Chains A and B, each alone.
Chain A
């Protein structure tokens, strides 16, 4: 049984006062959090305002002190793992790296699960479709060497390896996928993360997948569906540019096509 911790004194500020103007420590602010599945609804909670508060702090406070049935994911809480990705005031973000100050410009903080993925419950989504598309884009390394071969020599300054530098740090958090307009419009679109990983591997000189990966990313629902909106690039918490990776795939596919190698 959860008992509510003694709350702060009643806040006499107007309901529409912006969150950042509410005094820290002795005021609460309203937070709307998605409950249930796709046919669920928003539930409002009043959460204490604290200094340097992150959205993850808010969700954690609700689950620990107000409603233990709230389902959500997090792990590292320091901006490394990507588990805490949610939709905050309409934008996909890492909640541990989102200060309430930065996003609550109005009076309300609204927290929903990531877009474009099936909702398991509350703020938890099923990431399986995201990773299924990763596999469909042939986002796995295909080795060509054996234990009997010498180490591969990959020159760090080579154009292909430098191209990989810009794409390698993806941790599969799903924020770009949630932010992508085309993913919302076209259910079979592989999406920015899967295509970014495919481009990483296309540039990996050790990889043996070759034209099969180009065919996987060029098929219907592949790289050609990207309209270069760059919602992915804008929202990526690791500052990657899946748009650039997809442009690279378009170039590479076109080159293979005209050479008859697709």
Chain B
């Protein structure tokens, strides 16, 4: 049954992206605390982004995980709290995913130079 496979993939992707986000958020918080403690300027942070491939790659992964996780979460919220479900809702959420992905990766590209 297609419905079962699709529903199962949505669940697996939601869990997988949640695992990625858990790591990303912890590392992101750590960098924020570091930046504040060491009084890093915006220029210094951008310089870090330019200097190595790690940070742009990290934040690109962060963006992809968000683009997967957030729309799937919104799908459940729309279904359970607004009684909105069906193909039209899925189409809107696919658009949200696209906006998050493109906007986020564009931001990372700008910062990474």
**A residues adjacent to B (C-beta < 8 A):** 182, 185-186, 214-216, 218-220, 222, 224-225, 250, 253-254, 256-258, 262
Contacts and interface: CB of A to CB of B under 8 A. Distances in A.
12 contacts: A185-B79, A185-B80, A186-B80, A215-B1, A216-B1, A218-B4, A219-B1, A220-B3, A253-B11, A257-B8, A262-B4, A262-B5
Given A182-B80, A185-B80, A186-B80, A254 B11 contact: yes
Contacts, number: 44
B8 A254 contact: yes
Interface string B3-28: 11101111110000000000000000
Given A224-B10, A257-B8, A219 B81 contact: no
Interface of B: 1, 3-5, 7-12, 76, 79-81
Nearest to A185: B80
Contacts of A256: 8
Closest 4 CB pairs of A and B: A185-B80, A218-B4, A215-B4, A224-B11
A254 B11 CA distance: 8
Contact of A219 (B7, B12, B76, B79): B7
Main secondary structure on A side of the interface with B: helix
A220 B79 CA distance: 11
Contacts of B11: 224, 250, 253-254
Contact of B4 (A185, A186, A222, A225): A222
B7 A186 contact: no
Given A215-B1, A219-B1, A219-B3, A186 B79 contact: yes
A61 B76 CA distance: 45
B72 to A, nearest CB: 10
A216 B1 CA distance: 8
Given A218-B8, A224-B10, A257-B8, A185 B81 contact: yes
Nearest to A254: B12
Contacts of A225: 76
Given A215-B1, A219-B1, A253 B80 contact: no
Contacts of B12: 254, 257-258
A219 B7 CA distance: 6
A51 B9 CA distance: 56
